[in-house]
């Protein structure tokens, strides 16, 4: 994917020479070579002519604005869905037929238009939602532009230009960077104007701390983290001043490549597993509907087309357009019955309800389909810093000197945050701090530039994370004399002990940290007027410059080899646990600075040259060391274990160094404590050179990729997706955005995440916690099961409707229900129960089952068989009650003669079209509610307007049977005896709502007239219940068979899957 995105950049930028980056690796060339290559001097800068030539060649220093999809194209894309296309065709045909009926003076003109108009309304709402989602897709690119610098300080023709618009920079420009500046382009560091220069580039590289920059060359094949002499566009200067040379601008920068990769990933977004399955289902449905419609129409061919045979050949054809249109309308009604019009709306509602549930668990879903995709996640690719860890450095171990040379004391420090009241120090001598511990506390508090503030319930650090952790340690250590009683925790008291140390010992000079000596020192003036040097830094470096050690009682003895080896052994043990170690030392003998009082003192000249710091920090007195780390979140270990139980693999992809990442992975359970991980832990660059990368990714268990660049993350995600995995990718930085966009589920961090990462993601974690993803996966699985439940319910109901129309046509009896009644059932009556099934409680073992494969069938052969059995019964019941009313005056002891309707034989009912030729055929009037129907003028009307009571019974049976069927959908295999209806009270409420709506159209005269129905009597309702209740018994039998044959069916399915893979 990385290569692909680079190619894309080359295609789109043919007018810009992008080869400079490849042809001239500035990071591996010294300053003089770089200046010669660009024809520039760092003192004079480029001339105006040079700038113009460079701009013609490279263009402006800005990211491209890719042309968005036009609104017309977005509208067309909304009709790529197969179900939507079927609905559109059905609506158009229905509309044309309604128009034709109106022109011919047909009845119920208004109701004829209701059906197509409602379908059109559904399609319009669906398209609006789809367009709104699509239009938000490219916001990640806009967010990326916002992190670019707007102005830069540039030297051109020997003049310093302070506020040059950053977009006017060209390769070769000389730029000055200061603390707080955003880096405007990719640049080579030419010289440092301060002793140190540090840049916060974690959002681009994934590093957990600010990086010190240097002018020294690095190897040509260095990864982005290894380019210590380069600064990158979009990163921030946190310390120092330097002069740089612009090497890459615009789309050629590292951030420009991220821009291209995000755009390319956006172009290759795939449908969610559910949408693929629904499209597949829609295609099959199209074929089935087409076949049945054609079959029904052909079965009734003799009603509108007949002929005579003359000499063995058909002659004298007679065609009735009116009857042909009538049976075509029946075929269209069948199509409408077969299409689950309410399915898109119910799926959207269920997903929306899922987003609310997830929001309660701190998972904020930005794209509705992501809710369902989470359920079939097979691999979680997680960042380390801030997701698996707290992203808050903390001291975990403190080592102080013992009572005699060669002895050490070790204290375990609790707590994982910047909260000074989070945890304590084990075996700590409260109120009895000895001189050695006091000196450690003093150095940690004063030789420190960080701060901590309380924001609500959180504690936020400013400055370097390691220094902030040291200040937290000082607060936990307390102050001599018991000032730290822990009774107050107001913001002003957060660093009370540190403030007290700083009052006692005032800083008067700073020896800034630099990469060579790896230490920082401060000269302090104590209340007694004595000057001291306090130093912290890398333990090995401090030991080299130390001549003495301070013991427990404050006495100072010479640092012998035995003591030194003992300290180094302790250092190695802590380093093995991936702790970052810092040592502490001091010096009281400062002869040159004994009277130092500021810049006017002669000794101040010594401090202006960093080369002198090494000699000042010599003959030190070593006092102790600490081990720090970015600790794992406490709940992550259990979450990793839950993933393993749920069949989800966890891969850690981080920009951090290998040793630290491996130690964290062992801590949280990705790897075992003694497991050989040589084949499971690779540097990103090494992974890219593997001959068979897919084999590496197919290993069972956890994997680790450290020092990973954006293109490495993308390639890993792409390979996993190619292998059929459903990938969830977490990230917080700009460098993560392309992979977030490419993954099936991009998960951004809500607290530490950049806007670029959030806009590229499908889901944002409000608490930045890995365990939230695992909880969201469980919720996604539950939602998918519930969606299967209501799809099962709606499809079996629709099969019943198709069966009823098909049986009506096959038996030749009058049409039982008109299209508007079927539409009412599909959209209104079925809607509440289907939505309520989305509230089914999750199975208790939902996270103990392996994830479903993304290519698993939505409807298995067994489920389809059940659909057909239930659907056939629904059809038989709906048509059967119609026939019963016409042919019986009682059924299973229920008297049906109360309305006074006339009975006919089944033969008469099946041949009702020949009624006009029957001799002495007459029918008596019957009542329905307050209405009386008479047929004195035309007895054959008994099969037209007279069928209103039978139609009402059919519609009521269909509504009631679908309500009972919704109880069947509570579980795929569990009986109603083990999962009773009250486990989902919302379903009972929905059933009541649907029955209420049905009663409304039955007993409100105006609505009854619109829908062509009449009120029913008590006996007729008893008939409805008698005919519909068996649907529960039938499905209970089918569920019992399903439970008995589960093992057999699943083994067969897995064998088929293996054959497909082979």
First to last CA, the chain: 27
How far apart are the C-alpha atoms of 462 and 471, rounded to whole Å? 11
What is the b/e burial string over 480-493, where b = at least 16 CB atoms within 10 angstroms of the residue's CB? beeebeeeeeeeeb
Burial, 87: exposed, middle or buried (Cβ in 10 Å; 0-12, 13-18, 19+)? Answer: buried
Kind of pairing between the strands at 519-526 and 174-177: unpaired
| Residue whose tokens read 């992974």 | 687
Q: Phi and psi dihedrals of 519, rounded to 5?
A: -155, 165
Three-class DSSP category at 223: coil
173, 181, 383, 762: the catalytic one is 383
All residues at 6 or more sequence positions from 311 whose CB lies less than 8 Å from its CB, including other chains: none
Our answer to whether residue 434 is catalytic in this structure is: no
Burial class (CB in 10 A: 0-12, 13-18, 19+), 397: buried
Helix axes 273-299, 82-103, angle to 10 degrees: 40
Contact 217, 29 (CB under 8 A): yes
DSSP 8-state code for residue 69: P
| Phi and psi based region of residue 558 (left: phi greater than 0; alpha: psi -120 to 50; beta: remaining) | beta
DSSP string for residues in 881-911: HHHHHHH-SEETTEE-GGG-PPP--HHHHHT
Half-sphere exposure of 1031 (CA within 13 A, CB side): 34
Q: Could you give the CA distance from residue 518 to residue 537 in angstroms, rounded to a whole number? A: 6
C-alpha dist (Å) from residue 704 to 517, 567, 635: 32, 32, 20
Q: How far is CA 312 from the centre of its chain?
A: 71
Q: 10 Å Cβ neighbour count for 133? A: 14
Crossing angle for the helix pair 948-968 and 985-1003, to the nearest 10 degrees: 170
Residue 314, sorted as left (phi over 0), alpha (psi -120 to 50) or beta, turns out to be beta
Dihedral over alpha carbons 804, 810, 815, 820 (to 10 degrees): 50
Instruction: Fill in the DSSP letter of residue 407.
Output: -
CB 548 within 8 A of CB 588: no
Q: Are 319 and 304 in contact (CB under 8 A)?
A: yes
Angle, to 10 degrees, between the axis of helix 710-722 and the axis of helix 254-267? 20
β-bridge pairing 926-928 and 408-412 = unpaired
Rounded to whole angstroms, the Cα distance separating 932 from 953 reads 17
Phi/psi zone of residue 454: left (φ > 0), alpha (ψ -120 to 50 degrees), beta? beta
Short-list 882, 868, 877, 881, CA closest to 798? 868
**DSSP codes joined into one string, 840-864:** PPPPTTGGGSPPPPTTS-SS-HHHH
Q: How far apart are CA 790 and CA 643, in angstroms?
A: 28
Q: Do residues 34 and 245 lie in contact, with contact meaning Cβ atoms separated by under 8 Å?
A: yes
Residue 111 CA to residue 116 CA, distance in Å, equals: 10
Tokens of 200: 């916060």
Element spanning 164, H or E:
strand 159-165
Task: Just list the catalytic residues.
Answer: 383
């Amino acid at each position: 994917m990385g290569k692909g995105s680079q190619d894309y950049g080359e295609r789109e930028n043919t007018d810009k020479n992008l080869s400079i980056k490849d042809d001239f690796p500035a990071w591996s060339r010294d300053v003089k070579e770089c200046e010669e290559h660009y024809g520039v001097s760092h003192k004079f800068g480029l001339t105006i002519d040079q700038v113009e030539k460079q701009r013609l060649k490279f263009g402006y220093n800005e990211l491209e604005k890719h042309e968005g999809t036009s609104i017309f194209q977005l509208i067309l894309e909304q009709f790529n869905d197969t179900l939507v296309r079927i609905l559109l065709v059905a609506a158009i045909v229905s509309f044309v037929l309604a128009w034709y009926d109106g022109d011919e003076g047909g009845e119920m003109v208004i109701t004829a238009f209701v059906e197509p108009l409602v379908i059109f309304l559904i399609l319009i709402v669906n398209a609006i939602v789809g367009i709104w989602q699509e239009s938000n897709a490219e916001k990640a690119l806009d967010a990326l532009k916002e992190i670019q610098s707007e102005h830069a300080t540039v030297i051109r023709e020997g003049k310093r230009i302070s506020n040059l618009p950053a977009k006017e920079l060209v390769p070769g420009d000389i730029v000055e960077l200061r603390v707080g500046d955003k880096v405007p382009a990719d640049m080579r560091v030419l010289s440092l104007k301060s002793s140190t220069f540090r840049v916060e580039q974690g959002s681009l590289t994934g590093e957990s701390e600010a990086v010190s920059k240097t002018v020294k060359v690095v190897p040509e094949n260095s990864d982005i983290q290894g380019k210590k002499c380069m600064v990158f566009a979009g990163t921030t200067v946190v310390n120092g001043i330097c002069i740089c040379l612009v090497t890459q601008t615009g789309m050629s920068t590292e951030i420009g490549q991220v821009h291209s990769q995000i755009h390319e990933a956006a172009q290759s977004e795939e449908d969610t597993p559910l949408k693929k399955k629904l499209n597949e289902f829609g295609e099959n449905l199209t074929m089935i509907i087409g076949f049945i419609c054609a079959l029904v129409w052909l079965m009734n061919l003799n009603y509108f087309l007949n002929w005579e045979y003359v000499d063995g050949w058909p002659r004298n054809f007679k065609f009735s357009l009116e009857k042909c249109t009538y049976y075509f309308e029946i075929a269209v009604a069948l199509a409408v019955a077969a299409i689950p019009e309410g399915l898109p709306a119910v799926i959207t509602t269920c997903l929306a309800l899922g987003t609310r549930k997830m929001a309660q668990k701190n998972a904020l879903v930005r794209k509705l389909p992501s809710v369902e995709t989470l359920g079939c996640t097979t691999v979680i690719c997680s960042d380390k810093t801030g997701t698996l860890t707290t992203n808050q450095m903390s001291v975990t171990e403190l080592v102080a000197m013992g009572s005699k040379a060669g002895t050490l004391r070790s204290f375990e420090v609790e707590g994982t945050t910047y909260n000074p009241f989070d945890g304590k120090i084990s075996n700590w001598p409260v109120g009895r701090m000895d001189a050695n511990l006091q000196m450690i506390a003093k150095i940690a508090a004063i030789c420190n530039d960080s701060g901590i503030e309380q924001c609500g319930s959180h504690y936020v650090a400013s400055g370097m994370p390691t220094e902030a952790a040291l200040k937290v340690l000082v607060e936990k250590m307390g102050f001599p004399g018991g000032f730290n009683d822990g009774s107050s925790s107001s913001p002003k008291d957060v660093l009370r002990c540190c403030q007290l140390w700083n009052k006692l010992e005032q800083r008067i000079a700073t020896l800034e940290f630099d990469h060579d000596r790896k230490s920082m020192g401060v000269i302090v003036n104590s209340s007694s007027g004595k000057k001291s040097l306090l130093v912290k830094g890398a333990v090995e470096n401090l030991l080299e410059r130390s001549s003495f050690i301070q013991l427990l009682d404050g006495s100072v003895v010479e640092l012998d080899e035995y003591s030194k080896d003992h300290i180094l052994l302790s250092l190695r043990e802590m380093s093995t646990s991936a702790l970052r170690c810092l040592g502490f030392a001091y010096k009281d003998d400062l002869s040159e600075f004994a009277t130092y009082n500021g810049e006017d003192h002669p000794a101040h000249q010594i401090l202006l040259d960093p080369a002198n710091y090494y000699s000042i920090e010599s003959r030190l007195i070593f006092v102790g060391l600490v081990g720090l780390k970015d600790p794992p979140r406490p709940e992550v270990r259990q979450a990793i274990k839950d993933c393993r139980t749920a069949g989800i693999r966890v891969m850690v992809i981080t920009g951090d160094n290998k040793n630290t990442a491996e130690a964290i992975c062992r801590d949280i359970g990705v790897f075992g404590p003694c497991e050989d991980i040589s084949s499971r832990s690779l540097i990103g660059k090494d992974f890219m050179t593997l001959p068979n990368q897919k084999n590496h990714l197919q290993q069972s268990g956890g994997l680790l990729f450290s020092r990973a660049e954006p293109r490495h993350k993308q390639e890993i995600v792409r390979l996993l997706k190619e292998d059929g995995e459903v990938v969830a990718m977490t990230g917080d930085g700009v460098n993560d955005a392309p992979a977030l966009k490419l993954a099936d589920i991009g998960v951004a961090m809500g607290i530490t995440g950049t806007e670029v990462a959030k806009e590229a993601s499908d889901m944002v974690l409000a608490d930045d916690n890995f365990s939230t993803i695992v909880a969201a996966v469980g919720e996604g699985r539950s939602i998918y099961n519930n969606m299967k439940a209501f799809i099962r319910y709606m499809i079996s109901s629709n099969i019943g409707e198709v069966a009823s129309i098909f049986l009506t046509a096959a038996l030749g009896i009058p049409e039982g229900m008109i299209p508007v009644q079927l539409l009412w059932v599909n959209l209104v009556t079925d809607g509440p129960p289907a939505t309520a099934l989305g509230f089914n409680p999750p199975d208790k073992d939902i996270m103990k089952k392996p994830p479903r494969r993304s290519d698993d069938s939505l409807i298995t052969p067994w489920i389809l068989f059940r659909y057909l059995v239930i659907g056939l019964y629904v059809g038989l019941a709906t048509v059967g009650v119609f026939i019963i009313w016409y042919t019986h005056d009682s059924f299973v002891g229920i008297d049906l003669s109360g309305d006074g309707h006339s009975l006919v034989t089944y033969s008469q009912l099946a041949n009702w079209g020949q009624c006009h030729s029957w001799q002495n055929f007459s029918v008596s009037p019957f009542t329905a509610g307050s209405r009386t129907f008479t047929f004195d003028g035309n007895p054959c009307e008994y099969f037209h307007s007279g069928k209103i009571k039978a139609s009402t019974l059919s519609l009521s049976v269909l509504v009631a049977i679908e309500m009972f069927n919704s109880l069947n959908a509570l579980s795929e295999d569990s009986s109603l005896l083990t999962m009773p209806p009250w486990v989902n009270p919302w379903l009972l409420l929905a059933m009541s709502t649907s029955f209420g709506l049905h009663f409304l159209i039955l007993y409100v005269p105006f609505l009854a007239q619109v829908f062509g129905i009449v009120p029913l009597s008590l006996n007729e309702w008893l008939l409805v219940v008698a005919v519909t209740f068996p649907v529960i018994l039938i499905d209970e039998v089918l569920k019992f068979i399903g439970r008995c044959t589960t093992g057999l069916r699943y083994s067969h399915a897995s064998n088929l899957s293996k054959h497909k893979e082979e």
